[in-house]
Amino acid sequence: MLNLSIPEHVEPLRNKALQFIEQEVYPVETELLSDKVSARRGQLMRSLMDKAKAEGLWALGHPEEIGGGGLPFMDYVFINEVVGRSEVAMVALGTHSLQDSIMLHRYASDEWREKYLRPLVDGEVFPSFGMTEPDVASSDPTQLQTRAVLEGDEWVINGRKWFTSGAANAAYTTVMARTEDEDTPPHAAFSMIVVPTETPGYNIIRDVKVMGQADGHYEVVYDNVRVPKDNLLGPRGQGFKIAQDRLGPGRIFHCMRWLGQAQRAFDLMCERANSRVAFGKTLGEHQQIQKFVFDSAADIQASRLLTLHAAQKVDQGDEARVEIGLIKVFGAKMLHDVIDRAIQVHGALGVTEDTPLERMYRHARYARIYDGADEVHVQNTGRRILRRYANGEGFDFGLR
């Protein structure tokens, strides 16, 4: 049975994480997210990471056997909701590497687990992931053009990726490349390969500006990059399966973080509505602003219900493909709409860097694109539901 309440045993840890974010992260958030070059930023972030470790808040969702906090999936879901209030908090609390560390733990060779896994969990090195390409519609990843050819004991990789987030500071990139011939079924033709970023031929071209802001989403050219054949992650041709293992829980974490951002925007909106005066009364006394509050509260709660339901199904071992499709699309729209209303209530202030809203708004817009464009999730989810009816199963919401 779905329980929306924060479990009693999780609440103290969640409150502690929230307090850390409000007292330690928020005050330095603007400086850490600034486009200006600053030698102090690295020191600030390292200081936050050290404080999180000292307070027992570090890498809570990582499995205990690889050095993490070992928090069960559903417990961590509630923590991630708090972490989402600030993008800085992901790194400060060591949650940024969760998908990559689990991927290495499950699929990497002993050599790469030894070299990267513990430093990754400890925050000593950073990962990056190379899948999206500028010249093909990555919503259909079977079109990806990057190729890896096995020559003797080495993979030779050629291609171009972009939105390889964090590549400039990463120790390695896990790159998705076609390794099989054209006769191979598309979903069995791609593999994932670990590429250390110092490898010759790994060329960072630019930091792609996203809505006018350099945000660490790099374009990378692979020019005859050679890596040992043991850099293959998991079995050959299983890239899509590994990607799905990565993206399924990852979308739950995204949606919970979106809820955290929406909560922050909602708080700012309500505080502004109660304090700003126009036409002889507070904004909150105007009916249109009350409607903003109502719609936002309904959207957030509905998204939260959907997300916790999907998380519970994943926790029970279900792939929850339909549920994850629903929350990805609904959650991204919810986030955009709540932040948009909060900006409107703030007026001109809302589009300045004096509040976190304008940066959150940029991220909310491309939430509808990354991890699969909304249109693809709508199509796939609708198709899955219709297939159930075609098979005589139906789709009873009361039994979901």
Average pLDDT over residues 251-257: 90
pLDDT of residue 2: 64
Rounded Cα–Cα distance for residues 146 and 141 (Å): 11
Structure pTM?
Answer: 0.92
CB–CB of 61/67 below 8 Å? Answer: no
- Give the DSSP per-residue string, 321-352: HHHHHHHHHHHHHHHHHHHHHHHHHHGGGGGS
Judged against a pLDDT cut of 80, whether residue 35 lies above it is answered with no
pLDDT of residue 398: 77
Q: Tens of pLDDT along 144-190?
A: 999 999 999 999 999 999 999 999 999 999 999 999 999 999 999 99
pLDDT of residue 37: 61
Please report, for residues 15, 144, 395, the alpha-carbon distance to residue 100 in angstroms, rounded to integers and kept in the order given: 27, 21, 34
pLDDT band with cut points at 50, 70 and 90 for residue 78: very high
Q: Which residues of 261-297 are buried (b: 16+ CB within 10 A; e: fewer)?
A: bbbbbbebbbebbeeeeeeeeebbeeeebeebbeebe
pLDDT band with cut points at 50, 70 and 90 for residue 400: low
Rounded Cα–Cα distance for residues 361 and 342 (Å): 10
Rounded Cα–Cα distance for residues 14 and 83 (Å): 9
Q: Tens of pLDDT along 199-248?
A: 999 999 999 988 877 778 999 999 999 999 999 999 999 999 898 877 77
What is the rounded average pLDDT for all residues in the chain? Answer: 93
Rounded Cα–Cα distance for residues 157 and 361 (Å): 36
CB–CB of 338/300 below 8 Å? Answer: yes
How does strand 213-228 pair with strand 154-165? antiparallel
Structural domains for the chain: 11-108 (1.10.540.10), 127-233 (2.40.110.10), 241-399 (1.20.140.10)
